[in-house]
């Protein structure tokens, strides 16, 4: 049995709950092709996916100025919306983890910087919109992670309290936001983390190598 205290688990989306990198990197290369550029290696794009369109565009179009960058961002989002779930999948073990949380009455939800216009159809396509206790997107509030407000909003929607909550993410901003919200933080090392990152410096309470490792933090 999981810890008897009524816990709440909130997840980041890209690189934590779902492996969205195949579709997001493919979209970047689609956009590069529109501009007559060769495809970037998958690995070069994968480590930027947690940084969203902005991070991908920095590596895909490093010479773009602010005005061009904004035009590229709008076009990227248009293209990505058309292939949200072509290759996106659960990380191995994540579907099982959600089943265990549901069976034990552990409330869980999603707090992401991804825009709602992408978050909501993506989660719906995996049948998660009716299961999640909250879905907080990057444009739900005026603040985004690493600000703690989205996490606190998610907790309120899920009727949770920070002292009995975990936030799971794969980026330093996730750990910063979770700590600022008064939650225990879990670093998903299986996510989109660049080689050479000093993960210990991020200060997560727990580091996991696969989703099901989270269960030990709940016992």
pLDDT digits (tens, 9 = 90+) for 117-148: 999 999 999 999 999 999 999 999 999 999 99
pLDDT at residue 217 in the model? 79
Q: Active-site residue 174, yes or no?
A: no
pLDDT band with cut points at 50, 70 and 90 for residue 167: very high
- 8 A C-beta contact, residue 97 and residue 17: no
Give me the catalytic one of 12, 23, 170, 174.
12
How deeply is 130 buried, as exposed, middle or buried, from its count of CB atoms within 10 A (0-12, 13-18, 19+)? exposed
pLDDT digits (tens, 9 = 90+) for 80-128: 999 999 999 999 999 999 999 999 999 999 999 999 999 999 999 999 9
- 8 A C-beta contact, residue 192 and residue 33: no
Quote the pTM value: 0.95
pLDDT at residue 219 in the model? 74
Q: Which domains does the chain have, with CATH numbers?
A: 8-20+88-218 (3.40.50.1000), 21-81 (no CATH)
């Amino acid at each position: 049995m999981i810890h008897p205290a009524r816990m709440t688990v909130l997840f980041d989306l890209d690189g934590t709950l779902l492996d969205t990198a195949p579709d997001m990197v493919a979209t970047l290369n689609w956009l590069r092709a529109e501009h007559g550029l060769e495809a970037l290696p998958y690995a070069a794009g994968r480590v930027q996916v947690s940084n969203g369109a902005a991070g991908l565009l920095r590596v895909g179009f490093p010479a773009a100025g602010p005005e061009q960058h904004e035009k590229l961002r709008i076009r990227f989002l248009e293209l990505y919306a058309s292939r949200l779930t072509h290759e996106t999948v659960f990380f191995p073990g994540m579907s099982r983890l959600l089943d265990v949380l549901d069976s034990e009455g552990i409330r869980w939800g999603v707090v992401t910087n991804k825009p709602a216009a992408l978050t909501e159809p993506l989660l719906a396509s995996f049948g998660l919109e009716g299961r999640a206790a909250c879905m907080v997107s990057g444009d739900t509030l005026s603040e985004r992670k690493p600000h703690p407000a989205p996490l606190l909003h998610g907790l309120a929607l899920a009727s949770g309290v920070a002292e009995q909550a975990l936030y799971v993410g794969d980026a330093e901003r996730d750990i910063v936001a979770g700590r600022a919200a008064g939650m225990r933080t879990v670093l998903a090392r299986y996510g989109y983390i660049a080689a050479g990152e000093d993960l210990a410096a991020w200060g997560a309470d727990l580091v996991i190598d696969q989703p099901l490792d989270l269960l030990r933090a709940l016992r």
